[in-house]
Structure 1
Amino acid sequence: MNLKNIIALLCVVCLVEKCSSIQIEQSPETSKKTEDQTPETSEKTEDITEGLTQVEIDAILDNRVTDEWKEKWQVIFNKFAHKKRHMIDAAELQSLLFNESVGFIPLVQAGKLVAMLNRTPKATVIGFEHFSTMSPILDILSTRKMKKYPEYGNRAISVKRCNRILWNIFKETLFETQEEASEITKLMGLGDDDEIAMKNVDELVDMLRATDELDNLFKAFFKFDKNKDGIINDEELLRIITRYNSDYTIDNAVIAIQKFDKNNDGVVDFPEFLRMMKLPFSVEKMFKDEFDETHITRQQLNSLVKKAIGDVLDEDTLNEIDPSHENRITYNDIERFYIRR
């Protein structure tokens, strides 16, 4: 998981802890959902979410899609689905996403996603009812960061060299094997001896940055979902939050689940988790809450990272984040480190 998503995960934890702690402290009379309460709750949560009110937070977290969205994607889904079972497997999901210009995911990641959406670790297919929850996943995969690509004229390279470039860029983060790095050009119908325009190589790299972002969010989700059944329940949430607040109870966790569980099934699934990570957090305010400063030391940064992932950043990484050794790290330093990577 990259550092930027570790920090976002910490913000999610802080938000969950704050929201559920606020509500559990209220008496039965005042905990009813009335208009009179909304401002009070909003005041205490908006500081970490860039001043958003609870109504605005709920709008971001809402994972419902329009009838038009469903109609459009039902037609596309049926085009790739097996004619008899009306479902798609990992390879068909990969093909759908790529051929419909959404993005790319390796087969391994597609298999994980199928199991997560099905909430069954051994599941190999999904139906449209599962696919229809993928709106936030499609949003991430379709994100492109490069606004303009360099001019290469007619310059082209071999597909074999292109695959090697993709492998070298993403081998430590996204791809586990060189074969995975070649899946994307195979989807394009290209073999090793074919040629590919340099402009297209840049487009593939840009597309894979979005894939890498989704992979990082997978890893963040599994920090909560220890049994990998595709959901976060109250006990899993409790185990994480007690690292930050030893007074956090199962009652707090139940309330938190209710707050972020938008389809009312009693758990937080992966698409709902992605909505939480999408909230515009104020990291400086999170630093301020934790350490009473908007900048932190290397030791404080590592204490946050350890709480989130159970490990710390090595000295080389800290030197990249804080090259001047001033030991006053801001979120801008983390952002610059992320962009360089």
Structure 2
Amino acid sequence: MVDTIPKEELEKLRRAFSVYDKNGDGEIDTFELTSVLRMLGKNPSPAEVAEIMKRVDKDRSGTINFPEFLAMMLQKKKYCQLDADLRTSFQYYDKNKDGYICIEELRSVLGKHPGPLSQVDINMLIQEVDRDGDGRLNYEEFLTLMRDWLP
């Protein structure tokens, strides 16, 4: 995994890890993780910190080592890129730039989606994600459609 990361980016991540590793032992413990989250403007409960630790601490050591930190940061970067791609897609389909995608345009797009999406399927999807029933999708509704409903 380290071989695929540009050297400059890897160095930035090493420096960030060092900042978060307050006591310099090469690992981020729950106390340090809580401190990091607070520096980022969060106020996590102990349960939230434990949940993050559980997701990231792959070797179940009770701490986050650099490879685990690296995997977490790369996953976050991938997620951020997905968000950027979805934002670009939304802006593309928002033809009149009013912050909404009209249902008719969405039907046309979904009709071209690979896979067996019938008009009934499309109508059910739209009904499910158009929470306010206004016949158009705002960005949050579009995200729900793209993340939860389409492969």
The normalised TM-score by structure 1 is 0.22
Higher helix proportion? 2
The normalised TM-score by structure 2 is 0.47
